Amino acid sequence: MSGKTAKLVIGSKEVELPIHSPTAGPDVIDIGQLYAKGDVFTYDPGYTSTASCDSTITFIDGEEGILLHRGYPIEQLSSKSHFLEVCYLLLYGGLPNVAELTDFETRVTRHTMLHEQMMNFFRGFRRDAHPMAVMTGVVGAMSAFYHDSIDVNDPWQREVASIRLIAKMPTIAAMAFKYNTGQPFVYPRNDLDYASNFLRMCFAVPAEDYEVNPILSRAMDRIFTLHADHEQNASTSTVRLASSSGANPFACIAAGIACLWGPAHGGANQACLEMLEEIGTVDKIPEFIERAKDKNDPFRLMGFGHRVYKNRDPRATVLKESADEVLELLGVENNSILQVAKKLEETALADEYFIEKKLFPNVDFYSGIILEAMGFPTSMFTPIFAVSRTIGWVSQWKEMITDPKMKIGRPRQLYIGETKRDYVDIGDR
């Protein structure tokens, strides 16, 4: 408690509300007692000015373009750490020592296989099912296969469910990809690191040996690290709200996957690459920039803009550098899509509309270019985002479930519908 308060004058009433001060970011006005004291609700569709919880996991400064995970800048983590170490950091709150990291990596590695019976579950889908539809269904179905880790009140079951979700998500995503291609599922291997295992499960075939390209596995690991967590974004808020009812973790993470799929959120990476392909050449850029500015045109520049960042998304900066590096190492540096993306960014950032509205490339603007160069179809871009964000969802879920202040989330509303009226028999209408 900061000791500071805010006074709200509502008609003849004056309501005094406590102010809480953070370790970083703006103060918050605690409105928990506002309805009881002032007989009013607050109103904030889209939660543009509303803090839904307190958290110690991730901090974003949108004005400065800063992203910290447990205090560590994303730029340092993406260059010096690796994804499973970042998973440990997000889940347990600090960087592990050698023994702690080895134990964590071993536990994750040993949970990467899926219950064999779940293969039948995959076979119920059409071959052309979007992998996000498959992931939403299969992860939700994990509640029916892993009964020994669904009691959210049992710390041990929470820990097992957390490890199972982190470990099995790449396997599920890779299986969804293989199912789309008609190729056989590839089992995980315990002698490969997380990113290499995922690449092998996606691209290996039984007919020949598969050697993981270290350039690709490093790029894959960095993409996983950059998408891991991001405060109370839409899908994380979905996981928190679903979990607040006490629902099991698999069902709640499935809800997060469903929300991430939307093109305004994690689905933007697929939509962005499809947009860049539609633009096709740099001479078409002005036409699309004008469409993005036209209020009568629903078209928006996918991969641009952000609710919080009003400066560069630091993840986009790292991904832009990584795109240059990976495409050059793969010998496709003259990739026309990358040239269109760079010219589009340059043109938009020089345009008054984007400057005035503080619209910059976000995490989804360059990620698809790298993923496509790595051999993934656009339909796999959001599943890869979901693989990475699982650690964020699980860490935020764990924080909420163990918070003594936790209660079921139940927003109120501004009712603008009909007031009470009597039923009219059909003969009298």
Residues that bind ligand SDX (CB under 6 A): 46, 230, 233, 264-266, 268, 292, 300-308, 357, 359, 362-364
Q: Which residues contact 321 (CB under 8 A, 6 or more apart)?
A: none
Nearer to ligand SDX, 287 or 328 (CB): 287
Rounded distance between C-alpha atoms, residue 135 and residue 117, angstroms: 16
**Measured CA distances, 33 to 36, 38, 167, 297, 405 (Å):** 5, 8, 42, 43, 15
Q: For ligand SDX, give the closer residue by CB, 10 or 264.
A: 264
Tell the smallest beta-carbon distance from residue 271 to ligand SDX (Å): 7
Q: Token pair 């209408």 is at which residue?
A: 429
Cβ atoms of residues 329 and 374 within 8 Å: no
| Span between the terminal Cα atoms of the chain, in Å | 58
- As measured in angstroms, the least distance from the Cβ of 105 to ligand SDX is 25
Q: What's the CA gap between 316 and 323, in Å, rounded?
A: 10
Measure the CA–CA gap between 429 and 426, rounded to whole angstroms.
Answer: 5
For helices 98-109 and 155-181, give the axis angle rounded to 10 degrees. Answer: 50
**Which residue's CB is nearer to ligand SDX, number 37 or number 300?**
300
Nearer to ligand SDX among residue 193 and residue 351 (C-beta): 351
Give the integer Cα–Cα distance in Å for 202 and 178.
Answer: 7
Q: For ligand SDX, which is the closer residue by CB, 23 or 48? A: 48
The active-site residue out of 364, 422, 425, 428 is 364
User: What's the closest the beta carbon of residue 260 comes to ligand SDX, in angstroms?
Assistant: 8
Q: Between 183 and 379, whose beta carbon lies closer to ligand SDX?
A: 379
The one-character DSSP state at 361 is B
Query: In the annotation, is 364 catalytic?
Result: yes
Cβ at position 68, least distance to ligand SDX in Å = 14
Instruction: Provide the β-strand partners of residue 69.
Output: 58, 72
Q: How far is the CB of 232 from ligand SDX (least distance, A)?
A: 8
In the complex, minimum distance from the CB of residue 389 to ligand SDX, in angstroms, rounded to a whole number: 7
Closer CB to ligand SDX, 364 or 372, in the complex: 364
Closest CB to ligand SDX among residues 89, 363: 363
Nearest Cα residue to 152 out of 406, 409, 368, 325: 406
Q: Give the integer Cα–Cα distance in Å for 235 and 213.
A: 32
| In the complex, least distance from residue 135 CB atom to ligand SDX, rounded to whole angstroms | 17
Could you tell me the smallest distance in angstroms from the CB atom of residue 226 to ligand SDX? 9
How big, in percent rounded to 5, are the helix, strand and coil portions of the chain? Answer: 55, 5, 40
Q: Among all chains, which residue has been given the structure tokens 């619209």? A: 359
Q: Evaluate whether 82 touches 218 at the Cβ level (below 8 Å).
A: no
Total residues found in the chain within this entry: 429
285 with 36: CB under 8 angstroms? no
Could you give the CA distance from residue 102 to residue 188 in angstroms, rounded to a whole number?
18
111 is a catalytic site residue:
no
Distance CA 341, CA 369 (A): 9
Residue burial 203-213, b: 16+ Cβ < 10 Å; e: rest: bbeeeeebebb
- Considering 82, 230, 306, 313, which one is annotated as catalytic? 306
- Supply the residues annotated as catalytic: 306, 364
